[in-house]
Structure 1
Amino acid sequence: MSSKSNCDCCINYSYNEEEDYYECQVSLDEDEYGKFLGGTFGGCPYFQIDDEYRIVRKQM
């Protein structure tokens, strides 16, 4: 991607070890996928922050 996006900290953006690349786990339609590949998919409606400490805060 040419521009920095919020995908790096999204829970839906995971590493595929078999293919050796990161991919979005959300089923994007053709237009959304084109924007994603072009790096212009700002303001993603599927974005969820990858907050690994969320469970710990609930335990307190």
Structure 2
Amino acid sequence: MTQSACDTCAYYSYDENYECYICDMDLDEDELVRFLSDTHYQCPYYRNGDEYAVVRKQI
């Protein structure tokens, strides 16, 4: 299984009501269409959710 940018994003979280992962960013309609249709689209809201990334850089 390949990992997408969403998998490591801080805004990608599990929603217990829907029982799946969702993006917590409130994308407008144009952004959502671009995101779903373009495989090379890079989300402008992406933020690395890896808390240990800073620690690895210090080593």
Q: Which has the higher contact order (CA 8 A, sep 6+)?
A: 1
In the alignment, structure 1 residue 14 sits paired with structure 2 residue 10: no
Tell me which residue corresponds to 2:51: 52
RMSD between aligned residues: 2.7
- Of all paired residues, the percent bearing the same amino acid is 44
For residues 9-60 of structure 1, the C-alpha deviation after alignment (integer angstroms, 9 at most, x for no partner) is: 00011110121011111110002122334463721100000122268x4xxx
Structure 1 CA distance for aligned equivalents of residues 39 and 52 of structure 2: 29
Gaps of 5+ in 2: none
Please report the TM-score for the alignment, with normalisation by the length of structure 2: 0.67
Provide the secondary structure at the position in 2 that maps to 1:32: helix
Provide the secondary structure at the position in 2 that maps to 1:52: coil
Gaps of 5+ in 1: none
**Preserved CA contact (<8 Å) 2:25 2:45:** yes
Runs (4+) of structure 1 exceeding 4 A deviation are none
Say how many residue pairs are matched: 54
Please report the TM-score for the alignment, with normalisation by the length of structure 1: 0.66
